Chains A and B, each alone.
Chain A
Amino acid sequence: MLTIAGRTFRSRLFVGTGKFQSAAVMRQTLEASGAEMVTVALRRVELDNPADAIMQALDRQRFFFLPNTSGARNADEALRLARLSRAAGGGNWLKLEVTPDPRTLLPDPVETLVACRRLVAEGFVVLPYINVDPVLALRLQDEGAAAVMPLAAPIGSNLGMLDAVQTAIIIEQARVPVVIDAGIGSPSQAAAAMEMGADAVLVNTAIAVAGDPLRMAAAFAQAVTAGRDAFLAGLPARETGAQASSPLTGISPARLDFLQ
Chain B
Amino acid sequence: MTTSVAKGTGKHMQIILNGEKREVPGQSTLEQIIIALGLEKATIAAECDGSIVDRDQYAGQVLSEGMRVELIRFVGGGAC
Contacts and interface: CB of A to CB of B under 8 A. Distances in A.
Interface residues of B, number: 29
Given A83-B52, A87-B55, A41 B76 contact: yes
Contact of B71 (A44, A67, A99): A44
Of B46, B47, B80, most buried by chain A (CB within 10 Å of CB) is B80
B38 interface: yes
Contacts of A259: none
A89 B78 contact: no
Interface stretch (A46-54, A116-124, A168-176, A245-253): A46-54
Nearest to A15: B78
Interface in B3-59: 5, 17-20, 37-40, 42-47, 52, 54-55
A16 B18 contact: no
Contacts of A43: 72-73, 75, 77
Contacts of A65: 74
Given A44-B72, A50-B39, A85 B45 contact: yes
Given A17-B76, A41-B74, A55-B40, A47 B18 contact: yes
Interface in A2-28: 15-20, 26
